[in-house]
A and B are shown apart, each in its own frame.
Chain A
Amino acid sequence: MSAPRVLIISHGHPDFSIGGGEIAAHAHWRELRRRGIDAMFIARVAQSPGHTASFSLRSADGMEVLFSAPPVDHFRHSQPSRRVIYEEFRALLTRFAPTVVHFHHYVHLGLEMIREVRRTVPHAQIVVTLHEFLAQCHAQGQMLKATGLLCTKAQPLDCHQCFPSVTPQEFFMRELFIKSFLNLCDRFVCPSAFLRNRYVEWGLPADKMSVVENGQPLRAASGGGEPRAGQPPGGDPSGGGELRGGEPPGEYLRTRFVLLGQLSRFKGTPVLLEAARLLPKRLRDLVTIEIHGSIQFAVDEFKAQFEKQLLGLEDTVRYGGPYRPDDVHDIIQRSGWVIVPSIWWENSPLVIQEAFAAGRPVLCSNVGGMAEKVVNGVNGLHFRVGSASDLAARIEEAATKPGLWERLRTGVPAPPRIDATVDQLLALYGAESAAGATGAAPPAAAPPVGLRSLA
């Protein structure tokens, strides 16, 4: 088999938009390049390059390309200006002749690109990474109903309830349309088993679904968190009870909690603030909750509510404002627990990986991808999704129960790293790799130790 030529298509470029998907795609591409594989990265950007071509070069060697795709129909993720696809994209495909085309997303791009790949490079492997439930759920792909209830199955009548102006028939036609393109894919990559199962329930063939974590790029050593090169995915006890040099004592750390990320209703920020309010007085003095993140992109009513909720909690909650990605590790290090109170399912939240990277257990909602990555009583604690009182109880438990924090720390796994991820992906691609892939159907990545296997 000839050397693989991989085309990675992303719906955004990390230089222009912040999001886990874009970051993962770009990291994926950089790792392939690091290994000397012919890989091209195409990122969709909103801005026009100023000239009349839709593609523009980001790097001199032409392997990092920006794609100014015209706006898509967001309901069925179709590209109305199809000429861009069957003329310019077709030309690019013909010239680059990839053997693997890996879509990190189709949103903002248009599903038609998938069919174009199948038509123009019929023998290429088409792989799609699924980051959320957009294919089945028009509500930002979160499967959270307009009523606030979590949605367990996408069905036209239910979708119509969330979007009364769209008929159930329209949702049905959307499903047929989207599936007609997804049917062309050879493989789907899911960052969590939860997501994979949801898609299998929706009708994607189980044998095409693989679970591969989004590995993080190798980070320079900072604050004591040394990378463990070559560590197989699995538990990495950071020493039972042994404190790293320079770390505050467990008794102190366990009373300190942190929430990091984009602040919004979906991320559960109001739930945390309400839980803080519900804490008994003695705990309010004992416990510190730090909140870091930008509310810039939140809706106005969330901002107003956020500010209102902060009032009266000054003794407990501190709002640290936005942060740089490079500061994540330092921020987490200062606390003992990371809280992920999202009210929607979540797939594979980056912050959980960051928490594990810093050796911190996670306090999260008991649903979806969160509950998959964090095992209750092993490397974190679950609370009932959306329940401020239950979260408050867990906070109390976490802050006061002797030995709990120390014990859970031992269960914290090493987070997946990009090189491991890419190894798995290359295996999926069926490419010959140094590890000697069998060429048979690539196995689904074995879940890391500690993860609950979902039925």
Chain B
Amino acid sequence: MTLERSFGMVKPVVTALKDDYVKSGRYTVNAKLAIDVNKKQDVNPNASLPPAQLREELAGDSAPALVRIDFAATFRDHLLVYGWILGLRRWVAGAEIRYGGAVIDLTSLGIPVPRPDVTQHFAAHIKTEDDNHGFCLLVALPDGGTRPGYLRLVVSLHSGETLDRVWPVGTGDAGVTEILQKNRPVLAWMLQHLPAPDASLLGELWESMAPGAGKERDSNSALQLQFGVDACVLLERRLLVVLGWLNDRDQLVTTARAKVAHQTLDFLQDIQVAAQPGGHANRPHGADASMRPGGDANVRQTVRGEAVPQRGFSWVRALPQAIEESTDVVFEIAAGTRQRYVRRRVCANALDARSDLSRVLHRMEPDAAIDLIERIAARLDDTPDAHATFKWLAAVHAQIVERLPAVIPTLELPRCAVHIDVAIAVADQGVFLAGWFYAEPGAVKQLAVHAGLESHRIDDTWFRTSRVDVTTHLSSVQIACATHEHGFACFVPLQNFKAVPFLSISLGDGSVRRVRLPKSPPATALHTVRAILTTFHATGRGLRPFLDRHVGPAVRSVWQSRARAEQPLSVDRFGIPPSSPRVSVIVPLYGRHDLADYQMALFADDPDFQSAELIYFVDDPSIYDEFRARCRDMHEIHGVPFTIAYAGTNSGFAGATNRAASIATADRLLLMNSDVFPKQTGWLGRLLSLYGSLERPGPLGVKLLYEDGGLQHAGIAFRRYAPWDGLWINDHPQKGQSPSGLAGIRSVEAVTAACMLVDTSLYRELGGLCEDFIVGDFEDSDFCLRAAAAGRPSAVALDVELYHVERQSQDRIGNAHWRSNLTLYNCWQHDLRWAAGIEAQQREAQQREARHS
């Protein structure tokens, strides 16, 4: 017979079998049975009726058989049954085989067999929805039970009816052998198509029946289906690691022991069984059989089409005594009165053990492998000399981490979803994470970030942000959310920063899923700061703790680790500089270098600029060449002597000003922005003489106006800013209002460095502007507060007016989100240093005012 299709082959066999039975007479049945068996399988002409109604005909002795046992045999304490029930998958509520006192549940222990021959047999009269009528069963029988020659099949249908039949069972070596011979093709088919354990069991049994097999085998028990060992390794001669699969241990297994070199250990202790999957639509395979090496979802299909998982387990146990030589580990499992032994050899050789375990780990699903490694690593502390093993384990761990997925698709996790948008490396301190996370209550226990075997929980202190786009995404996959708060951002300090970091999600059902963090490409410090600062919007609760714990430390670490090669300054002078300048005017340039041309057009007719040292510091490599090429032109036309300096890099406002100040030669420094323009000539001389009239002055500012003449600055006052959790910000009171009525020299809390006069010696004493402030902002008020602390408070000369055409020199920052959050960071840093000082200062000032009034 050719095997066109295995199913097709079965059909003629069954027909042949039926005839054989009829003819062989090798059974002892009662008359009723004989009638049943001998009867031709006539089809009820009213077969369009559902089975319940067909059943009524049973009473009339013209029972159409809706079930049939094709053959059954008992041998080697096992029962083998092959048969079919019409509509087994869909119409049958329960089916039992009663044999010799044992009751065997067909619906859970039977293995489904497709029977198109049956479908076709009934096709003309009954429409069945599928071919799933057949079953085969191979079960162990309990000791001491009888082995009768017949079995009883009891079927109950969904319609409420029951079918009760008795069928012959072959017993005795000869009889069984004949049955097996006769049904050789079916058996061969079964060997090929049954699940592996059943097939191997069948194979063994058959072998034992076949002449000349002669092998002595352990008598297989029902336990074959429930217990098996895939790998058994002894690490460092003391740590036993066992992987296998185990089913229904609570129900069938009563004792489980492992014996190794005279040591007996309780196997059920410390065992970790894979969690029941619980039938999620999210996980199509259903089973979490990832414990098993090879990663196959080891799932048994029952006759009713259910997928019953074989549950994998792992067991890590430290032996009380080390093993000196390679030896056997014997596992003893008992269920009821049956016992089962499994032997496995373990090597005492450490390298062999390691390579064995490594092989096993690499065949496992990464999540399961990492779980196991973490448990082994935890155990390693128990054993001495574990350092080398730990290192090796960490190396294997790193390899397995590489196999973790980069992304977990939204619907894959049960009742939760997570996605990492960015993982920004923060110098050597850790990683800054941003992404989104959604979970129903109880679905997730915790999230943590790992680097090597170091782990750090993140979901207890992270910052949540609003993510409307995520809500939209989730609703597109039929997940409804109550809020938009899905985003998260946090800083994860990690010591093992060289290892590939990954995120672990501990689910409510006890399992753990892991995903690699995305790699962030190397970038400059400023780019990294920008990446961090654009992961969130400064709204929502918990802004201050987020800054304190996450953003602040991360940005600070990145900024402090920036490359600061101290490059020599390139200095060029145009025109003849004054020999003893009264003041050094320092103007940083970034982006719009043409602002220098505008300024010089206005300095050209101002005699003060013939006796001032004017220094333009180019803080932007992209404009240096172009600007430098125009300098001679500017000098020839405007006639103002000036110097340009360049450090080959972008240092930010503070850094640029500090470096320029380092080459200034005058006793006074005027810090000036490139977008500040004089209203009249002679302003600088007036400012200098006002400064000279003060006693031990601190920084002296000026009145700055907008281009429409409105007030831009008349001194800085600190006030709390509610939208940023009350951080102190630099306010310009009366901004935009009429500047009239403001005259004279006024003491203020701070002045802007857009136009600020200060003693060069004081500037250098205080260390110049603080370069911890990134790009530019708050370094001027920080400077003024430091000056005040040194006894040199700030003042503003309101009779000296210049225009401050705001925003022209802030072209550098561009994006509003980045700009805003950068200001937030600088503001936070400033507040951290000065909040107490500012409060004290303001309290004092209030008290003074109260006294005076």
Partners in one complex: yes
By a beta-carbon cutoff of 8 Å, the part of chain A in contact with chain B is 78, 82-83, 85-86, 112, 115-116, 119, 155-157, 167-170, 172-173, 176-177, 180-181, 183-184
CA of A177 to CA of B707, assembled, Å: 13
| Docked-complex contact A169 and B633, CB < 8 angstroms | no
CA of A11 to CA of B190, assembled, Å: 104
| Docked-complex contact A181 and B707, CB < 8 angstroms | no
CA of A116 to CA of B635, assembled, Å: 12
| Docked-complex contact A169 and B602, CB < 8 angstroms | no
Instruction: Tally chain B residues at the interface, Cβ within 8 Å.
Output: 21
Please pick, from A78, A86, A155, A156, the residue contacting B636 in the complex, using a CB distance under 8 A: A86
The answer to whether the Cβ of B637 comes within 8 Å of any Cβ in the partner chain is yes
- In the assembled complex, the CB of A89 is this many whole angstroms from the nearest CB of chain B, namely 11
- In the assembled complex, the CB of B755 is this many whole angstroms from the nearest CB of chain A, namely 16
Chain B contacts for A83, CB-based, 8 A: 633, 636
Chain B contacts for A167, CB-based, 8 A: 807-808
Chain A contacts for B597, CB-based, 8 A: 78
Q: A86-B636, A157-B708 are in contact. Are A169 and B806 (CB under 8 A)?
A: yes
Q: Which 5 pairs between the two chains have the least Cβ-Cβ distance?
A: A172-B707, A82-B633, A86-B636, A180-B601, A169-B805
| Docked-complex contact A172 and B636, CB < 8 angstroms | no
By a beta-carbon cutoff of 8 Å, the part of chain B in contact with chain A is 597-598, 601-602, 604-605, 633-634, 636-639, 675, 677, 707-708, 803, 805-808
Chain A contacts for B808, CB-based, 8 A: 167, 169-170, 173
CA of A157 to CA of B677, assembled, Å: 18
Interface centre among A170, A173, A177, by most chain B C-beta atoms within 10 angstroms, is A173
Chain B contacts for A112, CB-based, 8 A: 637
| Docked-complex contact B637 and A85, CB < 8 angstroms | yes
Pairs A–B under 8 Å by Cβ, sample size 23: A78-B597, A82-B634, A83-B636, A86-B633, A86-B637, A112-B637, A115-B637, A119-B639, A156-B707, A167-B807, A168-B707, A169-B806, A170-B808, A172-B707, A173-B598, A173-B805, A176-B598, A176-B602, A177-B598, A177-B601, A180-B602, A181-B601, A183-B605
- In the assembled complex, the CB of B275 is this many whole angstroms from the nearest CB of chain A, namely 63
- In the assembled complex, the CB of A156 is this many whole angstroms from the nearest CB of chain B, namely 5
| Docked-complex contact A82 and B637, CB < 8 angstroms | yes
Please pick, from B602, B637, B805, B807, the residue contacting A116 in the complex, using a CB distance under 8 A: B637
Chain A contacts for B707, CB-based, 8 A: 156, 168-169, 172-173
Besides A115-B638, A169-B808, A183-B605, 5 new A-B residue pairs in contact (Cβ under 8 A), listed by A number: A115-B637, A169-B707, A169-B806, A172-B803, A176-B598
| Docked-complex contact A156 and B708, CB < 8 angstroms | yes
CA of A86 to CA of B597, assembled, Å: 16
Chain B residue with the shortest CB-CB distance to A82: B633
Q: A119-B639, A156-B707, A183-B605 are in contact. Are A173 and B677 (CB under 8 A)?
A: yes
- In the assembled complex, the CB of B638 is this many whole angstroms from the nearest CB of chain A, namely 7
- In the assembled complex, the CB of A79 is this many whole angstroms from the nearest CB of chain B, namely 9
CA of A38 to CA of B24, assembled, Å: 145
CA of A128 to CA of B454, assembled, Å: 79
| Docked-complex contact A82 and B636, CB < 8 angstroms | yes
CA of A177 to CA of B637, assembled, Å: 13
CA of A112 to CA of B635, assembled, Å: 12
CA of A156 to CA of B708, assembled, Å: 8
CA of A176 to CA of B805, assembled, Å: 12
Chain A residue with the shortest CB-CB distance to B634: A82
Please pick, from B605, B637, B639, B807, the residue contacting A169 in the complex, using a CB distance under 8 A: B807
CA of A355 to CA of B838, assembled, Å: 76
| Docked-complex contact B637 and A172, CB < 8 angstroms | no
Chain B contacts for A172, CB-based, 8 A: 707, 803, 805
Chain A contacts for B602, CB-based, 8 A: 176, 180
Chain B contacts for A115, CB-based, 8 A: 604, 637-638
Chain A contacts for B601, CB-based, 8 A: 176-177, 180-181
- In the assembled complex, the CB of B485 is this many whole angstroms from the nearest CB of chain A, namely 38
CA of A125 to CA of B55, assembled, Å: 128
Chain B contacts for A116, CB-based, 8 A: 637
CA of A168 to CA of B706, assembled, Å: 11
CA of A181 to CA of B639, assembled, Å: 13
CA of A170 to CA of B805, assembled, Å: 9
- In the assembled complex, the CB of A84 is this many whole angstroms from the nearest CB of chain B, namely 10
Interface centre among A112, A176, A177, A183, by most chain B C-beta atoms within 10 angstroms, is A176
CA of A155 to CA of B806, assembled, Å: 17
CA of A115 to CA of B638, assembled, Å: 8
Chain A contacts for B598, CB-based, 8 A: 173, 176-177
CA of A113 to CA of B639, assembled, Å: 13
CA of A170 to CA of B592, assembled, Å: 12
CA of A168 to CA of B602, assembled, Å: 19
Q: A86-B633, A86-B636, A181-B601 are in contact. Are A176 and B708 (CB under 8 A)?
A: no
- In the assembled complex, the CB of B11 is this many whole angstroms from the nearest CB of chain A, namely 83
Chain A contacts for B677, CB-based, 8 A: 173, 176
- In the assembled complex, the CB of A430 is this many whole angstroms from the nearest CB of chain B, namely 22
Chain B residue with the shortest CB-CB distance to A174: B598
- In the assembled complex, the CB of A153 is this many whole angstroms from the nearest CB of chain B, namely 13
- In the assembled complex, the CB of B716 is this many whole angstroms from the nearest CB of chain A, namely 22
CA of A360 to CA of B651, assembled, Å: 71
CA of A177 to CA of B634, assembled, Å: 13
Chain A contacts for B807, CB-based, 8 A: 167, 169
| Docked-complex contact B605 and A180, CB < 8 angstroms | yes
- In the assembled complex, the CB of A416 is this many whole angstroms from the nearest CB of chain B, namely 35
Chain B residue with the shortest CB-CB distance to A87: B636
Chain B contacts for A86, CB-based, 8 A: 633, 636-637
- In the assembled complex, the CB of A81 is this many whole angstroms from the nearest CB of chain B, namely 8
CA of A132 to CA of B99, assembled, Å: 117
CA of A112 to CA of B598, assembled, Å: 12
Chain B residue with the shortest CB-CB distance to A78: B597
- In the assembled complex, the CB of B310 is this many whole angstroms from the nearest CB of chain A, namely 71
CA of A169 to CA of B638, assembled, Å: 22
Chain A contacts for B638, CB-based, 8 A: 115
CA of A302 to CA of B677, assembled, Å: 42
CA of A116 to CA of B638, assembled, Å: 9
